[in-house]
Amino acid sequence: MADVLEDSRDKVQENLLANGVDLITYITRFQWDMAKYPIKQSLKNISEIISKQVTQIDNDLKARASAYNNLKGNLQNLERKNAGSLLTRSLADIVKKEDFVLDSEYLITLLVVVPKTNYADWQKTYETLAEMVVPRSTNLLFEDQDSGLFSVTLFRKAIDDFKHKARENKFTVRDFQYNEEEMKADKEEMTRLSTDKKKQFGPLVRWLKVNFSEAFIAWIHIKALRVFVESVLRYGLPVNFQAMLLQPNKKNMKKLREVLYDLYKHLDSSAAAIIDQSAMDIPGLNLSQQEYYPYVYYKIDCNLLDYK
């Protein structure tokens, strides 16, 4: 979502909704969706329904993101070609037909990039860089911060000699041939890619919005399933437990842990042992690598945006 919204990243947050409300509101008002995940089904079936749904979203996302990113990448490559230094950028939108001697058997117009500090040298020397340079044939066509683009006309057979001498004098001959058809095709390609990107943008943002919501809702249902399963495994049947949501601020987290521990340590003596000796390994229970408490605990992170 953040990648697609590029310039309006501040809008990302308002598009990250679950069931049309912000994430914290959705979680605090959470109710199991009976229509999507019928509780008459077995736990295994419910988890498979969720898994299938999210896998489908994931596959769709990969396909859509790949298509959009290819389009965006091609467009950026073309834009890059039309920007940057005169040594590398496309010259198609700079030069005109009348800058060139075209359709001549003997003469050719070359384009030369000359650093601004060397303009005087260029004017003094270009006619003598090779034999058969047409006198007074140079024109300044375009300038950027560092250099200017000059045209010069000479006889075709002097090209190699001219290029070699130009290089020695810090003048760069661009490899460019004026071809109206090619230049037109490039412009059309850029327009087409730009139009395609705009066309895909709206539907893609809508799809992301809808499926972010679907994926987030599925994720919270998985959390609810885990709370249920873990509570049954720990406290047995009949089901007799209450799930709560707590949203402490950072300063109070340690204190809250202590209060909860005092309240519920009687439920699980092994948790007390783990808290006393956090590195202790109980055979068959790999708990030293994760947080373990005498109550069932899962963290839900609603800060999904990792940038400010």
**What is the full per-residue pLDDT of the chain (308 aa) written as tens digits?**
988 988 676 788 888 999 999 999 999 999 999 999 999 999 999 999 999 999 999 999 999 999 999 999 999 888 888 888 899 998 888 899 999 999 999 999 999 999 999 999 999 999 999 999 999 999 999 999 999 999 999 999 999 999 999 999 999 999 998 988 888 888 899 899 999 999 999 999 999 999 999 999 999 999 999 999 999 999 899 998 899 999 888 899 999 999 999 999 998 877 665 555 444 455 555 544 567 899 999 999 888 775 43
Would residue 120 count as lying in a domain?
yes
Would residue 206 count as lying in a domain?
no
Closest by CA to 139, choosing from 175, 168, 169, 96, is 96
Would residue 34 count as lying in a domain?
no
Give the domain CATH number at 138.
3.30.70.100
Would residue 185 count as lying in a domain?
no
State the total domains in the chain. Answer: 1
Which domain does 152 fall in, by range? 97-177
Is the pTM higher than 0.85? The answer reads: no
Would residue 132 count as lying in a domain?
yes
One-letter identity of residue 2: A
